[in-house]
Structure 1
Amino acid sequence: MAVREVLQLGNPLLREVSEPVEDPTSPEVARIVEDLRDTLAHWRATTTYGRGIAAPQIGVLKRIVFLNLPELGPWPLINPTITAKSPETMVVWDACLSFLSIFMQVERHREVTVRYQDLRGTWHEVRAGEAHNLSELLQHEIDHLDGILAIDRVVDVKTIVTRQEFERRYRAHSPYAR
Protein backbone atom coordinates (compact mmCIF):
# COMPACT_ATOMS: atom_id res chain seq x y z
CA MET A 1 0.00 0.00 0.00
CA ALA A 2 2.57 2.59 1.13
CA VAL A 3 6.06 3.03 2.45
CA ARG A 4 5.62 4.86 5.73
CA GLU A 5 8.08 6.95 7.72
CA VAL A 6 9.77 4.93 10.48
CA LEU A 7 9.72 6.85 13.74
CA GLN A 8 13.18 7.44 15.16
CA LEU A 9 14.63 7.15 18.66
CA GLY A 10 13.38 10.08 20.71
CA ASN A 11 9.88 10.12 19.23
CA PRO A 12 7.57 9.72 22.25
CA LEU A 13 5.16 7.41 20.36
CA LEU A 14 7.83 4.69 20.47
CA ARG A 15 7.47 4.66 24.28
CA GLU A 16 3.69 4.19 24.29
CA VAL A 17 1.92 0.88 24.98
CA SER A 18 -0.10 -0.29 21.98
CA GLU A 19 -3.80 -1.11 22.09
CA PRO A 20 -5.11 -4.60 21.26
CA VAL A 21 -6.63 -5.11 17.83
CA GLU A 22 -10.35 -5.78 18.23
CA ASP A 23 -11.00 -7.14 14.73
CA PRO A 24 -8.01 -8.72 12.96
CA THR A 25 -10.16 -9.19 9.84
CA SER A 26 -10.90 -5.49 9.40
CA PRO A 27 -9.78 -3.58 6.28
CA GLU A 28 -7.93 -1.16 8.58
CA VAL A 29 -5.73 -3.98 9.93
CA ALA A 30 -5.11 -5.25 6.38
CA ARG A 31 -3.95 -1.74 5.36
CA ILE A 32 -1.63 -1.47 8.36
CA VAL A 33 -0.11 -4.88 7.56
CA GLU A 34 0.40 -3.84 3.91
CA ASP A 35 2.08 -0.62 5.03
CA LEU A 36 4.33 -2.57 7.41
CA ARG A 37 5.19 -5.02 4.60
CA ASP A 38 6.00 -2.24 2.13
CA THR A 39 7.97 -0.21 4.67
CA LEU A 40 10.02 -3.22 5.76
CA ALA A 41 10.72 -4.18 2.13
CA HIS A 42 11.86 -0.63 1.40
CA TRP A 43 14.26 -0.60 4.36
CA ARG A 44 15.59 -4.04 3.48
CA ALA A 45 16.20 -2.95 -0.12
CA THR A 46 17.86 0.35 0.78
CA THR A 47 19.87 -0.62 3.88
CA THR A 48 20.09 -4.47 3.73
CA TYR A 49 18.66 -4.49 7.27
CA GLY A 50 15.15 -5.28 8.40
CA ARG A 51 13.67 -8.64 9.38
CA GLY A 52 10.66 -7.30 11.25
CA ILE A 53 8.72 -4.18 12.08
CA ALA A 54 6.04 -3.27 14.62
CA ALA A 55 3.10 -0.95 14.06
CA PRO A 56 4.29 1.66 16.62
CA GLN A 57 7.35 2.21 14.44
CA ILE A 58 5.09 3.71 11.78
CA GLY A 59 3.09 5.65 14.35
CA VAL A 60 0.21 3.15 14.72
CA LEU A 61 -0.36 2.20 18.36
CA LYS A 62 -1.91 -1.20 17.62
CA ARG A 63 -0.58 -4.64 18.58
CA ILE A 64 0.58 -5.65 15.11
CA VAL A 65 3.95 -7.06 14.07
CA PHE A 66 5.13 -7.99 10.59
CA LEU A 67 8.09 -10.30 9.99
CA ASN A 68 9.67 -11.28 6.71
CA LEU A 69 12.40 -13.88 6.92
CA PRO A 70 13.80 -15.68 3.87
CA GLU A 71 13.18 -19.05 5.53
CA LEU A 72 9.62 -18.27 6.69
CA GLY A 73 8.30 -15.64 4.29
CA PRO A 74 5.90 -12.79 5.17
CA TRP A 75 4.27 -13.28 8.56
CA PRO A 76 1.81 -10.85 10.16
CA LEU A 77 1.12 -11.36 13.87
CA ILE A 78 -1.91 -9.67 15.40
CA ASN A 79 -2.12 -9.25 19.19
CA PRO A 80 1.07 -11.25 19.84
CA THR A 81 1.94 -12.01 23.44
CA ILE A 82 4.76 -14.00 24.96
CA THR A 83 3.14 -16.74 27.05
CA ALA A 84 6.30 -18.59 28.13
CA LYS A 85 10.03 -17.83 28.35
CA SER A 86 12.88 -20.25 28.86
CA PRO A 87 15.01 -19.64 31.93
CA GLU A 88 18.07 -19.84 29.67
CA THR A 89 19.12 -16.56 28.13
CA MET A 90 21.56 -15.49 25.46
CA VAL A 91 23.36 -12.28 24.58
CA VAL A 92 22.80 -11.19 20.96
CA TRP A 93 23.57 -8.23 18.74
CA ASP A 94 20.51 -6.08 18.23
CA ALA A 95 19.63 -3.12 16.08
CA CYS A 96 16.44 -1.36 15.15
CA LEU A 97 15.03 0.46 12.15
CA SER A 98 14.21 3.25 14.61
CA PHE A 99 17.92 3.79 15.31
CA LEU A 100 19.84 1.95 12.65
CA SER A 101 22.98 4.00 13.22
CA ILE A 102 23.78 2.06 16.42
CA PHE A 103 24.00 -1.60 17.41
CA MET A 104 24.27 -3.10 20.86
CA GLN A 105 24.29 -6.39 22.71
CA VAL A 106 21.13 -7.31 24.60
CA GLU A 107 20.02 -10.26 26.67
CA ARG A 108 17.10 -12.31 25.38
CA HIS A 109 15.46 -15.57 26.40
CA ARG A 110 16.75 -18.51 24.36
CA GLU A 111 13.20 -19.75 23.69
CA VAL A 112 9.78 -18.14 23.89
CA THR A 113 6.25 -19.23 23.18
CA VAL A 114 4.12 -16.62 21.43
CA ARG A 115 0.36 -16.60 21.04
CA TYR A 116 -1.05 -14.47 18.20
CA GLN A 117 -3.88 -14.10 15.72
CA ASP A 118 -3.62 -14.21 11.95
CA LEU A 119 -5.52 -11.92 9.56
CA ARG A 120 -8.53 -14.26 9.71
CA GLY A 121 -8.68 -13.88 13.49
CA THR A 122 -7.56 -17.47 14.17
CA TRP A 123 -5.37 -17.93 17.22
CA HIS A 124 -2.00 -19.68 16.88
CA GLU A 125 0.86 -20.51 19.18
CA VAL A 126 4.48 -20.81 18.10
CA ARG A 127 7.48 -21.96 20.08
CA ALA A 128 10.50 -20.02 18.90
CA GLY A 129 14.14 -20.79 19.55
CA GLU A 130 17.43 -19.99 17.95
CA ALA A 131 16.40 -21.34 14.53
CA HIS A 132 16.15 -18.36 12.17
CA ASN A 133 17.00 -16.21 15.23
CA LEU A 134 13.24 -16.18 15.73
CA SER A 135 13.18 -16.02 19.52
CA GLU A 136 15.20 -12.83 19.74
CA LEU A 137 13.35 -11.25 16.82
CA LEU A 138 9.91 -11.92 18.33
CA GLN A 139 11.05 -10.53 21.68
CA HIS A 140 12.39 -7.40 19.98
CA GLU A 141 9.19 -6.73 18.02
CA ILE A 142 6.81 -7.52 20.89
CA ASP A 143 8.83 -5.18 23.11
CA HIS A 144 7.94 -2.39 20.65
CA LEU A 145 4.25 -3.03 21.38
CA ASP A 146 4.96 -2.34 25.06
CA GLY A 147 7.01 0.81 24.47
CA ILE A 148 10.32 -0.96 25.16
CA LEU A 149 13.28 -0.46 22.85
CA ALA A 150 16.40 -2.60 22.39
CA ILE A 151 18.50 0.21 23.86
CA ASP A 152 16.58 -0.33 27.14
CA ARG A 153 17.90 -3.90 27.29
CA VAL A 154 21.58 -3.25 26.54
CA VAL A 155 23.78 -5.53 28.67
CA ASP A 156 26.73 -3.14 28.80
CA VAL A 157 26.98 0.35 27.36
CA LYS A 158 30.47 -0.59 26.13
CA THR A 159 28.83 -2.88 23.56
CA ILE A 160 27.11 0.05 21.82
CA VAL A 161 28.78 0.57 18.44
CA THR A 162 28.06 2.51 15.29
CA ARG A 163 26.62 0.71 12.29
CA GLN A 164 29.93 1.18 10.46
CA GLU A 165 31.90 -0.44 13.29
CA PHE A 166 29.36 -3.27 13.61
CA GLU A 167 29.65 -4.03 9.90
CA ARG A 168 33.44 -4.02 10.06
CA ARG A 169 33.76 -6.23 13.15
CA TYR A 170 30.61 -8.29 13.77
CA ARG A 171 28.12 -8.46 10.88
CA ALA A 172 29.53 -11.63 9.29
CA HIS A 173 28.64 -13.61 12.44
CA SER A 174 25.19 -12.12 13.00
CA PRO A 175 21.68 -12.76 11.65
CA TYR A 176 22.11 -9.61 9.57
CA ALA A 177 24.77 -11.27 7.39
CA ARG A 178 22.21 -12.53 4.88
Structure 2
Amino acid sequence: MAIRNVLQLGDPGLRVVSEPVADPGAPEIAALLTDLQDTLTHWRTTTTYGRGIAAPQIGVPLRVIFLHLEQPWPLINPTIIAHSEEQMVVWDACLSFLCIFCQVWRYQQVDVRYQDLQGAWHTVHAEGDLAELLQHEIDHLDGILALDRMTDIRTMCTREEFEKRYRERSPYAR
Protein backbone atom coordinates (compact mmCIF):
# COMPACT_ATOMS: atom_id res chain seq x y z
CA MET A 1 0.00 0.00 0.00
CA ALA A 2 2.25 2.80 1.27
CA ILE A 3 5.46 3.61 3.02
CA ARG A 4 4.40 5.99 5.76
CA ASN A 5 6.46 8.61 7.57
CA VAL A 6 7.65 7.46 10.98
CA LEU A 7 7.07 10.02 13.73
CA GLN A 8 10.34 11.13 15.29
CA LEU A 9 11.35 11.80 18.89
CA GLY A 10 9.64 14.97 20.08
CA ASP A 11 6.46 14.47 18.05
CA PRO A 12 3.58 14.50 20.58
CA GLY A 13 1.88 11.69 18.66
CA LEU A 14 4.40 9.26 20.14
CA ARG A 15 3.05 10.02 23.63
CA VAL A 16 -0.63 9.36 22.88
CA VAL A 17 -2.25 6.32 24.51
CA SER A 18 -3.76 4.22 21.71
CA GLU A 19 -7.38 3.16 21.45
CA PRO A 20 -8.44 -0.50 21.23
CA VAL A 21 -9.45 -1.84 17.82
CA ALA A 22 -13.17 -2.66 17.85
CA ASP A 23 -13.18 -4.80 14.69
CA PRO A 24 -9.87 -6.56 13.88
CA GLY A 25 -11.32 -7.75 10.57
CA ALA A 26 -12.20 -4.27 9.33
CA PRO A 27 -10.71 -3.33 5.94
CA GLU A 28 -9.02 -0.26 7.45
CA ILE A 29 -7.12 -2.51 9.89
CA ALA A 30 -5.90 -4.70 7.02
CA ALA A 31 -4.82 -1.53 5.16
CA LEU A 32 -3.06 -0.24 8.29
CA LEU A 33 -1.18 -3.52 8.67
CA THR A 34 -0.09 -3.36 5.02
CA ASP A 35 1.22 0.18 5.59
CA LEU A 36 3.05 -0.95 8.74
CA GLN A 37 4.60 -3.88 6.84
CA ASP A 38 5.62 -1.68 3.89
CA THR A 39 7.08 0.96 6.20
CA LEU A 40 9.00 -1.59 8.28
CA THR A 41 10.32 -3.30 5.13
CA HIS A 42 11.52 0.05 3.82
CA TRP A 43 13.36 0.81 7.08
CA ARG A 44 14.90 -2.66 7.22
CA THR A 45 16.12 -2.28 3.64
CA THR A 46 17.54 1.22 4.05
CA THR A 47 18.96 0.99 7.60
CA THR A 48 19.24 -2.77 8.40
CA TYR A 49 17.24 -2.03 11.58
CA GLY A 50 13.62 -2.73 12.36
CA ARG A 51 12.10 -5.85 13.85
CA GLY A 52 8.76 -4.27 14.62
CA ILE A 53 6.63 -1.15 14.35
CA ALA A 54 3.58 0.15 16.18
CA ALA A 55 0.68 2.04 14.62
CA PRO A 56 1.31 5.18 16.74
CA GLN A 57 4.72 5.48 15.08
CA ILE A 58 2.98 6.28 11.81
CA GLY A 59 0.48 8.58 13.50
CA VAL A 60 -2.37 6.10 13.98
CA PRO A 61 -3.34 5.84 17.68
CA LEU A 62 -4.71 2.29 17.54
CA ARG A 63 -3.52 -0.79 19.46
CA VAL A 64 -1.86 -2.49 16.49
CA ILE A 65 1.71 -3.67 16.09
CA PHE A 66 3.47 -5.47 13.27
CA LEU A 67 6.54 -7.64 13.80
CA HIS A 68 8.73 -9.18 11.16
CA LEU A 69 11.01 -11.88 12.50
CA GLU A 70 11.15 -15.08 10.45
CA GLN A 71 7.71 -14.20 9.11
CA PRO A 72 5.20 -11.34 9.32
CA TRP A 73 3.26 -11.24 12.57
CA PRO A 74 0.44 -8.74 13.11
CA LEU A 75 -0.87 -8.30 16.66
CA ILE A 76 -4.10 -6.45 17.35
CA ASN A 77 -5.01 -5.22 20.85
CA PRO A 78 -1.89 -6.80 22.41
CA THR A 79 -1.58 -6.69 26.18
CA ILE A 80 1.02 -8.05 28.56
CA ILE A 81 -0.98 -10.28 30.90
CA ALA A 82 1.93 -11.70 32.93
CA HIS A 83 5.66 -11.19 33.32
CA SER A 84 8.56 -12.73 35.18
CA GLU A 85 10.02 -11.15 38.27
CA GLU A 86 13.46 -11.41 36.67
CA GLN A 87 14.54 -8.53 34.51
CA MET A 88 17.31 -8.07 31.99
CA VAL A 89 19.26 -5.13 30.65
CA VAL A 90 19.25 -4.89 26.86
CA TRP A 91 20.31 -2.41 24.21
CA ASP A 92 17.35 -0.68 22.66
CA ALA A 93 16.73 1.74 19.83
CA CYS A 94 13.70 2.77 17.87
CA LEU A 95 12.74 3.75 14.35
CA SER A 96 11.49 6.98 15.94
CA PHE A 97 15.03 7.84 17.10
CA LEU A 98 17.40 5.53 15.27
CA CYS A 99 20.37 7.77 15.96
CA ILE A 100 20.15 7.01 19.71
CA PHE A 101 20.76 3.70 21.49
CA CYS A 102 20.55 3.05 25.22
CA GLN A 103 20.29 0.25 27.71
CA VAL A 104 16.85 -0.41 29.17
CA TRP A 105 15.26 -2.69 31.76
CA ARG A 106 12.90 -5.33 30.41
CA TYR A 107 11.26 -8.40 31.90
CA GLN A 108 12.98 -11.63 30.86
CA GLN A 109 9.65 -13.30 30.11
CA VAL A 110 6.20 -12.01 29.21
CA ASP A 111 2.86 -13.50 28.29
CA VAL A 112 1.04 -11.43 25.69
CA ARG A 113 -2.60 -11.74 24.73
CA TYR A 114 -3.60 -10.42 21.30
CA GLN A 115 -6.10 -10.78 18.48
CA ASP A 116 -5.49 -11.84 14.90
CA LEU A 117 -7.19 -10.35 11.82
CA GLN A 118 -10.21 -12.60 12.32
CA GLY A 119 -10.65 -11.40 15.91
CA ALA A 120 -9.57 -14.67 17.53
CA TRP A 121 -7.62 -14.30 20.76
CA HIS A 122 -4.17 -15.86 21.21
CA THR A 123 -1.62 -15.93 24.00
CA VAL A 124 2.11 -16.18 23.41
CA HIS A 125 4.82 -16.82 25.99
CA ALA A 126 7.98 -14.94 25.05
CA GLU A 127 11.49 -14.94 26.49
CA GLY A 128 14.68 -13.01 25.80
CA ASP A 129 14.83 -11.03 22.54
CA LEU A 130 11.18 -11.66 21.67
CA ALA A 131 10.05 -10.61 25.15
CA GLU A 132 12.08 -7.42 24.83
CA LEU A 133 10.64 -6.64 21.39
CA LEU A 134 7.05 -7.23 22.46
CA GLN A 135 7.53 -4.97 25.50
CA HIS A 136 9.07 -2.24 23.31
CA GLU A 137 6.22 -2.27 20.78
CA ILE A 138 3.43 -2.55 23.37
CA ASP A 139 5.00 0.40 25.23
CA HIS A 140 4.43 2.46 22.06
CA LEU A 141 0.72 1.76 22.39
CA ASP A 142 0.80 3.35 25.84
CA GLY A 143 2.83 6.41 24.82
CA ILE A 144 6.01 5.05 26.45
CA LEU A 145 9.38 5.21 24.68
CA ALA A 146 12.52 3.17 25.27
CA LEU A 147 14.18 6.31 26.59
CA ASP A 148 11.66 6.27 29.45
CA ARG A 149 12.99 2.85 30.50
CA MET A 150 16.68 3.74 30.29
CA THR A 151 18.79 2.19 33.04
CA ASP A 152 21.18 5.14 33.20
CA ILE A 153 21.60 8.15 30.94
CA ARG A 154 25.30 7.27 30.70
CA THR A 155 24.38 4.23 28.57
CA MET A 156 23.04 6.47 25.81
CA CYS A 157 25.17 6.48 22.68
CA THR A 158 24.92 7.29 19.00
CA ARG A 159 24.13 4.68 16.39
CA GLU A 160 27.71 4.87 15.13
CA GLU A 161 29.16 4.10 18.58
CA PHE A 162 26.64 1.32 19.13
CA GLU A 163 27.59 -0.31 15.83
CA LYS A 164 31.29 -0.01 16.57
CA ARG A 165 31.13 -1.32 20.15
CA TYR A 166 27.97 -3.36 20.81
CA ARG A 167 25.97 -4.41 17.73
CA GLU A 168 27.73 -7.75 17.26
CA ARG A 169 26.41 -8.96 20.64
CA SER A 170 22.86 -7.64 20.19
CA PRO A 171 19.68 -8.86 18.49
CA TYR A 172 20.31 -6.21 15.81
CA ALA A 173 23.27 -8.27 14.51
CA ARG A 174 20.86 -10.82 13.04
Q: TM-score, normalised by structure 1?
A: 0.97
Aligned residue number for residue 153 of structure 1? 149
Partner Cα distance (1:68, 1:122) in 2: 20
Shift of 1:69: 0.5
Partner Cα distance (1:126, 1:47) in 2: 29
Provide the aligned C-alpha RMSD in A: 0.4
Deviations 1:56-113, CA, capped at 9 Å, x for gaps:
000000000000012xx10000000000010000000000000000000000000000
In the TM superposition, structure 1's runs of 4+ consecutive aligned residues that sit over 3 Å from their partners are none
Please list, as runs of the form range in 1=range in 2, the aligned pairs for 1:167-178 lying within 5 A after superposition.
167-178=163-174
Amino acid at match of 2:53: I
Aligned residue number for residue 100 of structure 1? 98
Please list, as runs of the form range in 1=range in 2, the aligned pairs for 1:17-36 lying within 5 A after superposition.
17-36=17-36
Aligned residue number for residue 60 of structure 2? 60
Partner Cα distance (1:32, 1:83) in 2: 25
Helix, strand or coil at the partner of 1:92? strand
Partner Cα distance (1:171, 1:159) in 2: 14
Partner Cα distance (2:147, 2:94) in 1: 9
Helix, strand or coil at the partner of 1:53? strand
Shift of 1:25: 0.1
Deviations 1:21-48, CA, capped at 9 Å, x for gaps:
0000000000000000000000000000
Amino acid at match of 1:46: T
Identity %: 70
Shift of 1:4: 0.1
Partner Cα distance (1:120, 1:6) in 2: 27
Amino acid at match of 2:166: Y
Aligned residue number for residue 140 of structure 1? 136
Helix, strand or coil at the partner of 1:134? helix
Aligned residue number for residue 112 of structure 1? 110
Aligned residue number for residue 87 of structure 2? 89
Amino acid at match of 1:159: T
Partner Cα distance (1:89, 1:33) in 2: 31
Partner Cα distance (2:83, 2:15) in 1: 23
Partner Cα distance (2:120, 2:51) in 1: 23
Partner Cα distance (1:39, 1:51) in 2: 11
Q: TM-score, normalised by structure 2?
A: 0.99
